[in-house]
Chains A and B, each alone.
Chain A
Amino acid sequence: MTVSVMVVDDHPMWREGVARDLAERGFEVVATAGDAASAVRIAKAVRPDVVLMDLNLGELSGVDATLLITGELPGTRVLVLSASGEHDDVLQAVKAGASGYLVKSASAEELVDAVSRTAAGDAVFTAGLAGLVLGEYRRMAAAPGDSAEEKPQLTERETEVLRLVAKGLTARQIANRLVISHRTVENHVQSTLRKLQLHNRVELARYAIEHGLDSEPEAQR
């Protein structure tokens, strides 16, 4: 079964280039979009396996689009493909539900590999993203407020794995060094993301309830 992909980017030249690269390598590019609002609308209609998401899209950002798409389409995974530095917006996108991140300077082979892995359900981590996620867990642990049980925490093994990812080791190298299976490494990495995303959804829901924003969002559509 071919993987269906949707490309979201505000830059037509880039959008078409990436779509062509993917089509040449056997992916089915089912849609493209140039802004976040139409990305959400089109994604709901075509339900692609993978959405390649740029983050700088103007008014409604790629982070918002990621949150809406992953929230409503459980079968669709979002892979962030961004030229922006590996900073807060990337972290926000991942917390919003993106299952991975790739820089735009990545080669066509890296892109194809990342899309395949995303479609298969793996998390696509760069060293930079691992550094951001590690930092985010530590920031939450140090922040005052919530009691310790409510904050997501990394297990010792997960911390160890994330640190090695951040130091540039491949999943296979990490498996060798820690004497665990390749699959286990992938599971640890995925688990760090899932906990972060779950916490983010809980926080957003709590915020919505506290501010009376939870009433019938469907009715307006």
Chain B
Amino acid sequence: MPDEPAERVTKMIDDPATPLWRGAIALRIVTFLFAAANVIANQSGQPGYERPWLAWTTLGVMALWSVFTSRAYSTTWGRRWPVVLADLALTCGLMSLSPLIMSDHQLLTLNVPLITTIWASVPAVALGALGGAAAGFVGGLTVGLFTYLSKGVPSLDLLRDVVLLAGAGMIVGMASATARRSAVRLAQALRAEAATAERERLARSIHDSVLQVLARVRKRGLEVGGEAAELAQLAGEQEVALRNLVAAAPADSTVDGEVDLRPGLQLLATPRVQVSTPATQVMLAAATAGELTSLVREALSNVDKHAGPGARAWVLLEDLGDEVVLSVRDDGPGIPDGRIASAAAEGRMGIEKSIKGRVEALGGALELQTGPGEGTEWEVRVFREGAAR
């Protein structure tokens, strides 16, 4: 129990649409005062209300309901569909009493406002704040429909009110949807930042212990030779794997579905494969990034197969703004002329299909430089959609 108020407070802060709800409450209070003034002005006078007692009763109910909704909309408890829909129903119901309260003369000739006046606009705003643009629009239309039913005859004034109500509901709905979206983005950014900080802390402590020892074992082992050299090689492999695991940031995608291409590539590094990237993020659509990563993996396994066990490879990632360039180079013997074409002809579609086809599917460009004794170099260029960033 003692935790509940605190929890409610945090939830209140968390709700990005809170300012809109506060606006709805303010609107409710101001419009109630307007409705009260309207009743006072029209109850007596020459063409008075047909049933003044009903007018006062309705105004009393409106007062109670204003207090209730003001309190309800200040809490997360009240910002729910049942409450908001009840608000809409009660408001339309009270409005429908207008023909009983007012004389036909007042209603049709003098164009005196309905008993609820602009107080009736609040449910449209509340629906927008809760459910977005569509809900706000429908809420406005509903209130408009009941206004027409209460008046009984269509008019230009009526049409104007309907447009205003539906429009107001829709705009508030758009605002609340935008507020929610940016809150989600913010939360995501904060989460990514926290994850990065934690990763850095972890990286530091691993660096201070495990990596140092592994590097030392590898070094001394190679110097001692023999069986120790074998152990040294194992330690070296683990050192690289661990370093890359620590360095690779979590692949947390943004709201736009973009991910950093670097972590996926960095995990491909081994003692024989060097991966070089910029220090800053290289954001690409998640599907494109995944495709490029598996493409590089394919090229690297090709190096293993054809360039010999001693060959080394280098992966370079460059971000040129409107395009991203990925190069994979090895220092193996290179692909003899015509090997790629003959492999395709034999139905072993390895390189031809995997790399070329994939690059084409991404709308990118592929360049292959090779020759006997020169190693092999793939260069893939992928253009950014819209090239806005």
Contacts and interface: CB of A to CB of B under 8 A. Distances in A.
B331 interface: yes
Contacts of B274: 126-128, 168
A168 B332 CA distance: 12
B374 to A, nearest CB: 10
B377 A84 contact: no
B277 A104 contact: no
Interface of A is mostly: helix
Interface in A132-155: 132, 134-136, 138-139, 142
Nearest to A126: B274
Interface in A100-153: 104-105, 107-108, 126-128, 130-132, 134-136, 138-139, 142
B268 interface: no
Given A10-B208, A105-B240, A107-B222, A136 B279 contact: yes
From B218, B280, B316, name the one whose CB has the most chain A CB atoms within 10 angstroms. B316
Interface string A78-108: 0000011111100100000000000011011
From B220, B244, B278, B327, name the one whose CB has the most chain A CB atoms within 10 angstroms. B278
Contacts of A163: 316, 318, 327
Contact of B331 (A87, A126, A166, A168): A168
A108 B318 contact: no
Given A83-B212, A132-B279, A166 B316 contact: yes
B314 A166 contact: yes
A135 B319 contact: yes
Nearest to A13: B216
A14 interface: yes
B207 A87 contact: no
B215 A104 contact: yes
Contacts of B211: 83, 104
A56 interface: yes
Given A107-B219, A138-B278, A166-B314, A85 B212 contact: no
A167 B329 contact: yes
B236 interface: yes
Contacts of B28: none
B96 interface: no
B266 interface: yes
B224 to A, nearest CB: 12
Interface residues of A, number: 34
A11 interface: yes
B219 A56 contact: no
Contacts of B204: 56
A131 B327 CA distance: 11
A111 B23 CA distance: 68
A132 B212 contact: no
B276 A84 contact: no
A108 B207 contact: no
B279 A128 contact: no
Contacts of B213: 13
Interface string B254-275: 0000000000001000010011
Nearest to A88: B279
B318 A134 contact: yes
A131 B314 CA distance: 11
Contacts of B220: 17
A138 B279 contact: no
Interface string A49-91: 0000000100000000000000000000000000111111001
B212 to A, nearest CB: 5
B320 interface: yes
A135 B331 contact: no
From A17, A107, A167, name the one whose CB has the most chain B CB atoms within 10 angstroms. A167
B218 A132 contact: no
A138 B319 contact: yes
Contacts of A104: 211-212, 215
Contacts of B207: 56, 83-84
From A84, A85, A136, name the one whose CB has the most chain B CB atoms within 10 angstroms. A85
B215 A128 contact: no
Given A14-B212, A168-B329, A139 B278 contact: yes
From A14, A91, A107, A131, name the one whose CB has the most chain B CB atoms within 10 angstroms. A131
Nearest to A136: B279
A202 to B, nearest CB: 20
B239 interface: yes
From B203, B207, B216, B243, name the one whose CB has the most chain A CB atoms within 10 angstroms. B207
A21 to B, nearest CB: 8
A139 B212 contact: no
A127 B321 contact: no
28 contacts: A10-B208, A11-B208, A11-B212, A21-B219, A83-B207, A83-B243, A84-B207, A84-B247, A85-B246, A87-B279, A91-B279, A104-B211, A104-B212, A104-B215, A105-B215, A108-B222, A108-B223, A126-B274, A127-B314, A127-B316, A130-B276, A131-B278, A135-B318, A136-B279, A138-B319, A138-B320, A167-B329, A168-B314
Interface of B: 203-204, 207-208, 211-213, 215-216, 218-220, 222-223, 236, 239-240, 243-244, 246-247, 266, 271, 274-280, 312-314, 316-321, 327, 329, 331, 377
Given A107-B222, A135-B277, A139-B278, 5 more contacts: A131-B317, A134-B318, A139-B279, A167-B316, A167-B329
